[in-house]
Structure 1
Amino acid sequence: MSSPKLVAVGDNCLDAYLTRGVVTAGGNALNVAAQWRRGGWPARYFGVVGNDAEGEILLEEIETAGLSRGDVERRPGDTAVTLLRDEAGDRQFLLESLGVGDNYMPADEHYRAIAAADWVHLGTNANPDLVRRLVARRVPFSVDVSTKHLAIPLEGVPLLFASGPDGEEPVAPLTNALRAAGARQVVLTCGRRGAFFDDGATIRHAPAIPVDVVDTCGAGDSFIASFLASFRFGGLDAAEALRIAAAAAGETCLHVGGFPQQPRPIPDWLPAKYAEFVTPAEGR
């Protein structure tokens, strides 16, 4: 398939790096779509932002990434925002607000385009009813459950991405539990330990690639975008796709934000809007 239709659906957010004084566009689904576009894939991103200034910033960055703002709905309410402080790439989250993206279900027009895609990736905090609809319609898709492994129905999910243990404990109990819940294939990303793929027959592994970390935000999303492109449409087996995806994740750690973009100074109105979260952190 020379030009598969790839679609990412769900979360976006405005990431405010209080320590650095900048904001970037992010969110698992948006990052995956942006990385696909960087790789030359004809990807689309479907999501929602609020009717506020944060939403306009995100829409501008979405267009800059080569995606269409027409695929992003605007609804009354607040855009998703993440406030974080970081030290040498390690992040401390002060606020993770989903805003209007909470439990996002695409409008009917967008859902029809999503259901017709060759592959769909659902970001974190996916709507359980959307998962069920895609399973029932037999749409090929993946979903990132991050650390909330069993928060949504997994029965019939073709491919699942999750965070796994970064210590020495075996990964099989977790992958077995996720497959027992209904996921057919499971990929675990385990930080410095690397990543694992379990299809029920065997477990494959690829080590992480050490880099001088600037920011870990979006590294897992780059991993997902690269793995799906390589494994589902690049003709590579799981082991090689894991290695390529690990390299992509390492590259993302070399810059601020989930995909290459020009960070913007934090607008004056943003800390004021979220003063109850920002002020206590600045006092420490």
Structure 2
Amino acid sequence: MTRSELAIRPILVVGDANADLVLGGDVVPRFGQAEQLLDRADLVLGGSASIVACGTARLDAPTSLIARVGRDAFGDVTLAALRTRCVDVTDVIIDDTMATGLSVILSGRDDRAILTALGTIPTLTGTDVTARLDSWQGPPGVLHVASYFLQPALAADLPAVFSHARRRGWTTSLDTNWDPAEQWRGIADVLPHLNVLMPNGSELRALAATLGEAGDCDEDLARGIARHGPRVVVKDGARGGWSIGDGGHVERAPGLPVDVVDTTGAGDSFDAGYLAALAHGVDDESRRLRWAATCGSLSTTQPGGTAAQASLAELMGAMAS
């Protein structure tokens, strides 16, 4: 192991692990027993946390995942895909009584719809995470939680989990993802214990409304949220991403022009780029955003969330060109 490898901080990702069935082509359902022909169907690794973990591992950051899956075929597919991508799954809990979650993704060129059977996803708890933090033998790293609103037991424990992690020297990060109930509860209690919040534009606006933040533009909303504690790092689709910290200054990075095949998991790969930059000790915010935006762009060039995730060499090559 080289000196530079020793300096890379570990990443502990917490959240959902499931399989994704990605359908492409004419995906708008027509009922009445009408049969539609699709361009493609791919069974791939799903779950925001799992895709993030694969992305950070691909970028040479030592990555572990805490999640729950069932002892079934979809659980086997999920664990095999994670292991293939060098994610440590020692802390993935296998449940003998519940099924692994499954998402069916109807993927068009410019938008997508997601149908999810939650299975084991909501059963993860804060105790699962704090127990791992207490037994951690190495240096503290980056603790990232995904899919907050799909995991109510974990969400309720998260302020205490993040507070505990920060006392132990961990950097804390959260991507709430969308709230299916559109109520956005509990976030105000989490923000003071958070270093990084990673919404997309729609999530940013919904979170700001819940917190009572108002403004003339998204940047104003992010400034309001940042006053609660975290740096707000916003995914901005093909335009790349931007962020605002407690000082109110906006940093931006553009996306790459690519031929988009599938946007599934692009936001998770964006997260992975940013988290990996933190793990590698990148201390310039504009460069961290370039890692994130480049990873998000490259991930859209193949179906599914992980097939086109960049290696560290590919990331550096794309940024250089």
Q: How far off is 1:89 after superposition?
A: 6.0
Q: How far off is 1:107 after superposition?
A: 6.4
Q: How far off is 1:237 after superposition?
A: 0.9
SS of corresponding position for 2:105:
strand
Deviations 1:21-76 (A, max 9, x none): 22100212111111111111211111110122211111111111112333211112
Given that residues 10 and 124 in structure 1 are in contact (C-alpha distance below 8 angstroms), is that contact kept between their aligned partners in structure 2? yes
Q: How far off is 1:175 after superposition?
A: 0.8
Identify the residue that residue 162 of structure 1 maps to in structure 2: 199
Amino acid at match of 2:243: F
Residue segments in structure 1 that go unaligned for 5+ positions in a row:
262-284
After TM superposition, list the pairs within 5 Å mapping 1:122-271 onto structure 2.
122-125=145-148, 127-137=154-164, 138=166, 139-148=170-179, 151-152=186-187, 153-164=190-201, 170-180=217-227, 182-201=228-247, 202-231=249-278, 233-260=280-307
Q: Distance in 1 between matches of 2:59 and 2:89?
A: 20
Q: How far off is 1:225 after superposition?
A: 1.3
After TM superposition, list the pairs within 5 Å mapping 1:90-129 onto structure 2.
90-93=111-114, 95-102=115-122, 104-105=124-125, 106=128, 109-113=131-135, 117-125=140-148, 127-129=154-156
Identify the residue that residue 59 of structure 1 maps to in structure 2: 79
Greater mean alpha carbon deviation, residues 23-32 or residues 143-152: 143-152
Q: Distance in 1 between matches of 2:229 and 2:260?
A: 32
Number of residues of Structure 1 aligned to a counterpart in Structure 2: 258
Deviations 1:81-139 (A, max 9, x none): 1112223363222x123221115212664343569731111111252244212332224
Identify the residue that residue 10 of structure 2 maps to in structure 1: 5
SS of corresponding position for 2:301:
coil
Greater mean alpha carbon deviation, residues 230-239 or residues 67-76: 230-239
Q: How far off is 1:244 after superposition?
A: 2.3
SS of corresponding position for 2:193:
coil
Identify the residue that residue 78 of structure 1 maps to in structure 2: 99
Q: Distance in 2 between matches of 1:233 and 1:171?
A: 29
- Report the TM-score, using the length of structure 1 for normalisation: 0.81
Q: Distance in 1 between matches of 2:89 and 2:63?
A: 13
Q: Distance in 2 between matches of 1:171 and 1:47?
A: 32
Aligned CA distance change for structure 1 residues 147 and 170 (closer, same or farther; 3 Å): farther
SS of corresponding position for 2:252:
strand
Amino acid at match of 1:194: G
Identify the residue that residue 275 of structure 1 maps to in structure 2: none
Greater mean alpha carbon deviation, residues 106-115 or residues 48-57: 106-115
Amino acid at match of 1:227: Y
SS of corresponding position for 1:99:
coil
Q: How well do the aligned residues superpose, as a CA RMSD in angstroms?
A: 2.6
Q: Distance in 2 between matches of 1:151 and 1:99?
A: 23
Greater mean alpha carbon deviation, residues 224-233 or residues 114-123: 114-123
Aligned CA distance change for structure 1 residues 170 and 103 (closer, same or farther; 3 Å): farther
Which ranges of 4 or more aligned residues in structure 1 deviate by more than 6 Å? Answer: none
Amino acid at match of 2:231: Q
Q: How far off is 1:230 after superposition?
A: 1.7
Q: Distance in 2 between matches of 1:107 and 1:134?
A: 7
- Report the TM-score, using the length of structure 2 for normalisation: 0.73
